[in-house]
Structure 1
Amino acid sequence: MVADDRRDVRFLATHLLEKSGATTVTADNGQEAVDVVKHRTQSGEPVDAILMDMQMPIMDGYEASRVLRQSGFDRPIIALTANAMQGDRRRCLETGCKDYLTKPLNGSDMLRMLQRLLVSRDQ
């Protein structure tokens, strides 16, 4: 899943993921991401990983990550943020994200990180 309020980021991330063979779903705010994950889990089509923008309207990525973790979602959440300030990575990890990427997205870094997190989860 790609959760980001910016259409260009959603487009780029989904394009890169689908080009590598992944199936994607998107959300444009944190509440929608929580709702989609819940619906897909209940329908037997769980989300394998989430790229979560941390600054979104309605519900930001910090709160959405906390809500997802509290509901039992145990798959990788990767924080996406334009902020590269000291302490941002720590804050993302404290809210339940497994790792952190800064924008603009680097496609090869994103794919390597997803592969690493998904392989380590399955072992």
Structure 2
Amino acid sequence: MNESYMGTSEQLCRLKVLIVEDDFINMEFLVEILRLYVAELFRATNGQEAIDMTLNQSSSIDLILMDIKMPFMDGFEATNTIRQHGLNIPIIAQTAYATEFDKKRILQAGFDGYISKPIDEKLLIQTILNVL
């Protein structure tokens, strides 16, 4: 574990995180980072899978990292649907859309946090801690 996050390990080590990402390389990158910090990782490759997993395991998932641009159903629609079911699981958008306008739009759409790609490990961990 990265020494700079040793003090946060208690807070993170119990987390069960759903990563929603359609790109294999991005998924594996996030898994490699998060497996060092969290208790369990779930994977979904599109918004519909994320909804299904969240509704079926809502008591098990503590945090969702949601890609914005995905096939079949994007992150906006998936997040909106999750929120319509009354689930208040923190959802962090992870996206290549990096302008201030994009960030504002994402946060207004019901996401609890935002991180732009390429993902920086320290910023990711800090963003997770900020939304918990």
- TM more than 0.5: yes
Write the mapping of 1:1-123 to structure 2, written as runs, cut at 5 A.
1-41=18-58, 45-118=59-132
CA RMSD between the two structures: 1.1
Identity of aligned residues (%): 35
Greater strand fraction, Structure 1 or Structure 2: 2
Could you list the runs of 5+ residues in structure 1 that have no partner in the other structure?
A: 119-123
Deviation at 1:56, TM superposition (A): 0.3
1:56-110 CA distances to partner (integer Å, 9 max, x unpaired)? 0010001001011111110210011101123111211122101110001111111
Q: CA deviation at 1:111?
A: 1.0
1:66 partner letter: N
Unaligned runs of 5+ in 2: 1-17
Would you say the 8 A contact 2:114–2:127 is kept in 1? no
Question: Aligned pairs, how many?
Answer: 115
